[in-house]
A and B are shown apart, each in its own frame.
Chain A
Amino acid sequence: MEAFGLLFHGFTVLLTWKTLALMMVGLVLGIFVGVLPGLGGPNGVAILLPLTFTMDPTSAIVMLSCIYWGALFGGAITSILFNIPGEAWSVATTFDGYPMAQQGRAAEALTAAFTSSFIGSLVAVVLITFLAPGIASFALRFGPPEFFAVYLLTFCSFVGLGREDKHKTIISMALGLLLAGVGMDTVSGTLRMTFGLSELLRGVNFLVAVIGLFGISEILLTMEERLALRGHAASISLRVVLQVWKDLPRYTMTLVRSSVIGCWLGITPGGAIAASFMGYNLAKRFSKDPDSFGKGRIEGVFAPETAAHASGTAALLPMLALGIPGSGTAAILLGGLMVWGLNPGPLLFVEHKDFVWGLIASMYLGNVVGLIIVLTTVPVFAAILRVPFAAIAPMIVVSCAIGAFAIQNAMFDIWLMLGFGVVGYVFKKIGIPLAPFTLALVLGSRAEDAFRLSMIGAEGDLRVFWSNWLVGSITTLAVILLFWPLIGAAIGRARGLLQRA
């Protein structure tokens, strides 16, 4: 198969001392970011992105994706040892992970979490390896109408399938798309929405917004809460690891089920959070002894962790193949790709083979190295939580400011970041979701270009979005997803009527 050859080539790109060292640095930083309160995958990647500006794209993306893997691993540590989910998708891990730690089985729970994370990611990476090139070459046939239809599908599925109030999702998305349009219009060169401010000519940078929305606002939110914590220190011995691995085959079904759920939810923009809960609930439902869940059952750790990581990894598939990120962090990685002048999407597989296969190979290697690092260094990372938040908070603020400034060397961006921090704080507290905003901001100008190019090609006829079976079915699917809550309710009512009749 062609994929094997290319993947092998990817490994040869990767196996230099410099890349391996960057990988380790990325993983350690990532775990650090995942463990610390007030930081997480998206913020971590956004803040550390400027570090990579002077690297070549392959080294940079390897380091960034390793930060992402590290953050995924790190979230499990605090969930199990402290009952504090470092990330929203680790919430389900606390249900059984923390009881296990209380029973003195912390090492077992951690090993289970790390191992299942590894398995989940691995399944998703294998999926990416074999599916992404196919999807990308299929998407090479896409013209502007098809691309716009795919963007529309992404946006509509957020509105239709999201659990937040619909009007809040629409507000978030419209704001993101509007901000993406500020500055010079790429098609006609006209200035718009700048209000005479020369700083706005460049537009609002995506990464500045992300650093403010996620980094600064998260610090404000964290300070609101009680920061006291109480948990267990743990170290993992080789004996425990081997013990857990020996029992692994017994949980094959749980692992397979969670991997499938994770991959599916990761590709569709729904994300790791839903996946982890769904994995947990299904494991519970299919178990012979559902009542023992929540009291320290190892399957209760395997199921959500596998699903969360499969989904977090699978989110990179649409990003690589179509240029559409499946999660907030993937959106930030996409922003990074654009900074290095790479245009994410199907052409990436043709024009930048080295880069794509280097990245895919780094997913394999990063997960193996990550697993070894977390298994051996858990005590060190658990101890980080002893560092008072009063020392960590200002350091995070400084890192955010450095990140925001470095992107365009503009002081204005530091102020913008602060503004976005306040907006993010208020939005999170009144339930306006930030993920649609992030996605809209990063996809906005490309969605608009695709729309206008289709319109120019079709001389303003909206029927171009139904002009052939491909674009027609994508557009129709988008409309169905947009109105899914209404359609779902109608189907439910119809079924009720039928049953009564």
Chain B
Amino acid sequence: MATPDNEIVVDDPDAPDSSSPPVVGTRAVNIVVYLLLLALAALLAYDNWRTGMGWAPEGPEAGYFPFYLSVMLAGASLYGLVYALVSGAASDETFVTRDQLRRVMQVFVPTLLFCLFTQWLGLYVASFLLIAGFMYFVGRIALWKSLLTAAVFSIAMFATFDIAFDVIMPKGPLEAAFGY
């Protein structure tokens, strides 16, 4: 039998509560997604029709194949849309609860900021900020551990990609100051 010393336990005190109220149902998301897909299909169909979706003397034109794919996409989306509208609200399931959405945003917003910072400060500085910030603020891990982990990881990535494997990443003012 399992004794405490050979057990691995990891807690998640911040876990989403199962009784958290739903933000949006699957049916509503389905409808929005199908509408967006329909719009995309219409846009692509129009663009391919403009490019030429018929037959040139030497075979199908550039827009032929994608045009009919857009029609297929539109058809399948329309079916899904009608299906979702007809199925009614009674059988609706939760798409995401408030707690879950909060947790998802906890990753998504930092990731978005990371992408923005990469553009201005270079990837390695952005990576340091993302890891340190995420560990400290979201994971509530001690500041020194967060800073150390972030620094070690970012420097290790720099050494691996930019120096050892010659895969060049976007760089900013800090790297420039060191002459890279």
Contact = CB atoms under 8 A, between A and B. Distances in A.
Interface of A: 50-51, 53-54, 81-82, 102-104, 165, 167-168, 170-171, 174-175, 177-178, 181, 185, 187-188, 190-193, 195, 216, 219-220, 223-234, 382-383, 385-386, 388-391, 393-395, 397-399, 401-402, 405-406, 409, 411, 414-415, 418, 421-422, 425-427, 429-430, 432, 448, 451-452, 455-456, 460
Given A170-B76, A223-B106, A394-B134, A406 B161 contact: yes
B9 A402 contact: no
Nearest to B110: A394
Contact of A167 (B48, B64, B83, B140): B83
B149 A391 contact: yes
Which of A175, A399, A451 is most buried by chain B, counting CB atoms within 10 A of its CB? A175
A232 B6 contact: yes
A104 B1 contact: yes
A456 B157 contact: no
Interface in B46-86: 47-48, 51-52, 55, 58-66, 69-70, 72-73, 75-77, 79-80, 83
B107 A190 contact: no
B156 to A, nearest CB: 10
Given A388-B10, A395-B153, A397-B111, 16 more contacts: A170-B72, A188-B61, A190-B61, A190-B62, A230-B7, A234-B6, A391-B139, A394-B135, A402-B167, A402-B169, A405-B170, A418-B112, A426-B33, A430-B29, A430-B95, A455-B59
4 closest residue pairs by CB, A with B: A390-B139, A456-B59, A228-B12, A190-B62
Contacts of A231: 7-8
B59 A386 contact: no
B69 A177 contact: yes
29 contacts: A51-B167, A53-B165, A54-B167, A81-B8, A165-B80, A167-B79, A167-B83, A170-B76, A181-B65, A193-B48, A193-B66, A219-B111, A220-B107, A223-B107, A224-B16, A224-B100, A228-B10, A230-B10, A382-B8, A388-B141, A397-B107, A397-B111, A397-B114, A402-B169, A406-B167, A411-B118, A421-B111, A432-B33, A451-B60
Report the interface size class on chain B: 35 or more
Contact of B107 (A185, A393, A399): A393
Contacts of B64: 452
Contacts of B37: 171, 175
Nearest to A457: B59
A430 B111 CA distance: 23
Nearest to A171: B76
Given A178-B66, A455-B59, A167 B80 contact: yes
Contacts of B149: 391
A183 to B, nearest CB: 11
A193 B40 CA distance: 11
B176 interface: no
A80 B106 CA distance: 30
Contact of A178 (B1, B51, B73, B83): B73
A243 B165 CA distance: 44
B135 A390 contact: yes
A178 to B, nearest CB: 5
Contacts of B174: none
A451 B68 CA distance: 13
Interface of B: 1-2, 6-12, 15-16, 26, 29-30, 33, 37, 44, 47-48, 51-52, 55, 58-66, 69-70, 72-73, 75-77, 79-80, 83, 95-96, 100, 103-104, 106-108, 110-112, 114-115, 118-119, 123, 127, 130-131, 134-135, 138-141, 149, 153-154, 157, 160-161, 165-170
A421 B75 CA distance: 25
A185 B62 contact: yes
Contact of B73 (A175, A187, A193, A402): A175
Contacts of A225: 15-16
Contact of A402 (B75, B76, B104, B123): B123
A146 to B, nearest CB: 18
Given A178-B44, A385-B8, A429 B96 contact: yes
A465 to B, nearest CB: 14
A398 B131 contact: yes
A406 B162 CA distance: 11
B65 A448 contact: yes
Contacts of A226: 12, 15-16
A192 B62 contact: yes
A177 B70 CA distance: 10
B87 to A, nearest CB: 12
Contacts of B161: 50-51, 402, 406
A397 B37 CA distance: 27
A192 B67 CA distance: 11
B58 A230 contact: no
